[in-house]
Amino acid sequence: MGIPLIGERIPEFEAVTTKGVIKFPDDFKGKWVVLFSHPADFTPVCTTEFVAFQKRFDEFQKLNTELVGLSIDQVFSHIKWVEWIKDKLGVEIKFPVIADDRGKIAEMLGMIHPAKGTNTVRAVFIIDPKGILRAVLYYPQELGRNMDEILRMVKGFQVIDENGVALPANWPNNELVNDEAIVPPASTVKDAEQRTKEYECFDWWFCHKKLNNK
């Protein structure tokens, strides 16, 4: 079985974490999940990422979204590292961190890229409440992630699902339609003719509308 692709169900696994044993994704049924890997504990870039994720923890929670970290380290290392972050930086890490010390989960999910070494790259998997993989991001070890983009993606998927729309580049600050959404394409000639009467349009195939629940 290959690595999971967008639109597929995320593979099931059981894992030891800093919050106890979890069954994934069953323990998170009904919630959105941001599952992310980091190369190693006690490293500078990863430390900045954990602080950045935790600083946005409440924002993710408001979106019914759980954060789950992962690296190829033992749980004892994770525990000491999150203790260090709390003691030295004053930030308590409230989300679980998977101890994938044998690398089996990372390998299954395609988080190890051999050309970049034997540890995990900075992978991000956004998973919806039905356990379906909605997006995948890969960052190299040397570049930290943009957590605000990950937060924007979760918000965007929820708007898309609730309204049956698409969202433009840089939403909600798009250069052409601002915070509006893209209306799905017409499926018949009659629909196409009606589009410009029902919505604001650049043409029949490029129409947009305001959202009431941004």
| SS3 label, residue 57 | helix
**Amino acid identity, position 214:** K
Question: What would the two tokens of residue 183 be?
Answer: 């209306």
Residue 214: pLDDT above 60? Answer: no
Question: What would the two tokens of residue 102 be?
Answer: 């044998």
pLDDT at res. 212: 80
- Catalytic site includes residue 46: yes
- Domain CATH number, residue 209: 3.30.1020.10
Tell me the pLDDT tens digit for each residue of 194-203. Answer: 998 999 999 9
Tell me the pLDDT tens digit for each residue of 13-60. Answer: 999 999 999 999 999 999 999 999 999 999 999 999 999 999 999 999
Percent pLDDT > 90 in the chain is: 93
Task: Please indicate, yes or no, whether residues 122 and 35 belong to a single structural domain of this protein.
Answer: yes
Task: Please indicate, yes or no, whether residues 32 and 126 belong to a single structural domain of this protein.
Answer: yes
Task: Please indicate, yes or no, whether residues 123 and 197 belong to a single structural domain of this protein.
Answer: no
Question: Residue 86: inside a domain, yes or no?
Answer: yes
Residue 44, Cβ density class (10 Å: 0-12 exposed, 13-18 middle, ≥19 buried): exposed
CB 126 within 8 A of CB 157: yes
| SS3 label, residue 110 | coil
Number of domains making up the chain? 2
Task: Please indicate, yes or no, whether residues 109 and 198 belong to a single structural domain of this protein.
Answer: no
Interval 101-113 mean pLDDT: 95
Residue 213: pLDDT band with limits 50, 70, 90 = low
Task: Please indicate, yes or no, whether residues 94 and 138 belong to a single structural domain of this protein.
Answer: yes
122 is in an annotated binding site: yes
Q: Which domain holds residue 177?
A: 163-213
Question: Residue 152: inside a domain, yes or no?
Answer: no
Q: What is the DSSP letter of 12?
A: P
Final residue of a domain: which of 83, 114, 144? 144
- Domain CATH number, residue 75: 3.40.30.10
**Amino acid identity, position 37:** S
Task: Please indicate, yes or no, whether residues 184 and 104 belong to a single structural domain of this protein.
Answer: no
Residue linked to tokens 């929820």: 158
Q: Which of 10, 46, 97, 182 is catalytic?
A: 46
Distance, CA of 6 to CA of 192 (rounded, Å): 30
Task: Please indicate, yes or no, whether residues 123 and 57 belong to a single structural domain of this protein.
Answer: yes
